Amino acid sequence: MYQLHIGSKNYSSWSLRPWLLLKHFKIDFLEKSAPLLGECEYREYIESGLYPCLYDQEFNVWDSLAIAEYLAEKHPEMWPKEVQARARARSISAEMHSGFTSLRSLMPMNIKLRAQGGELVMNVKHDVERICFLWREARRYATAGHYLFGDFSIVDAMFAPVVWRFHCYNVALPDDAAIYCEWMLAHPAMREWEKSALLETLVLPQQDMLLEAFGGRR
């Protein structure tokens, strides 16, 4: 059985991705919560010192996209079947993995947050617009289903933290993007993750300082 080491469910966007994949595809795994948040402090528990980290017997792989690719080797249904759709899905996933730095830094994942919303700074607005464009691009390859490429795939897991950001920071979205977020938020595993996140007592002051900027409350 796999072991998945993850960080805080309220704050760790990277941890959500592989956890959601495993849950959606009903793959048995043992969840291990890392007791500390600092990367270097994990080394007693995780060989790489990084999370999320997936153990398959004695072999371990870290980084959310690397874990997804490793799982897809054994569970190819995690990517779209058609060649071009699969290539586009990989491109979009990679862009999510490496880009959108303004959104990440100014709107970190904080599931307990409920913000009033408001005007976005230009760099964040650009990131939001680009994400909505990528979602529309993905839907061009969907013949059925409500997820980005029709059936749930790695791409949806990669964007799951963004869905939480849009929801918790009350970001105004075009209708098509808002509908997709509603579908993602209704996913049973997303609801399960939220339930656990709301029970956490960990507080990161440096992230909660952003609440005032968005008129937020915990």
Per-residue pLDDT at 218: 44
Instruction: For residue 147, list its beta bridge partners.
Output: 150
Question: In a 3-state reduction of DSSP, which class is residue 57?
Answer: coil
Question: In a 3-state reduction of DSSP, which class is residue 120?
Answer: coil
Per-residue pLDDT at 115: 84
Instruction: For residue 33, list its beta bridge partners.
Output: 6
Burial group, residue 123, by CB count within 10 angstroms (0-12, 13-18, 19+): middle
CATH 3.40.30.10 segments of the chain: 2-76
Which amino acid makes up residue 196?
S
CATH class for the domain made up of 2-76: alpha beta
- Full-model pTM: 0.89
CATH 1.20.1050.10 segments of the chain: 77-199
Per-residue pLDDT at 39: 43
Say how many residues make up the chain: 218
CATH class for the domain made up of 77-199: mainly alpha
Distance between CA 102 and CA 169 in Å, rounded?
Answer: 14
Per-residue pLDDT at 47: 56
Per-residue pLDDT at 48: 54
Distance between CA 114 and CA 218 in Å, rounded?
Answer: 6
Distance between CA 10 and CA 14 in Å, rounded?
Answer: 11
Q: 10-residue block means of pLDDT along the chain (218 residues)?
A: 94 95 98 64 52 92 96 97 97 97 93 85 95 97 93 98 96 97 98 96 67 49
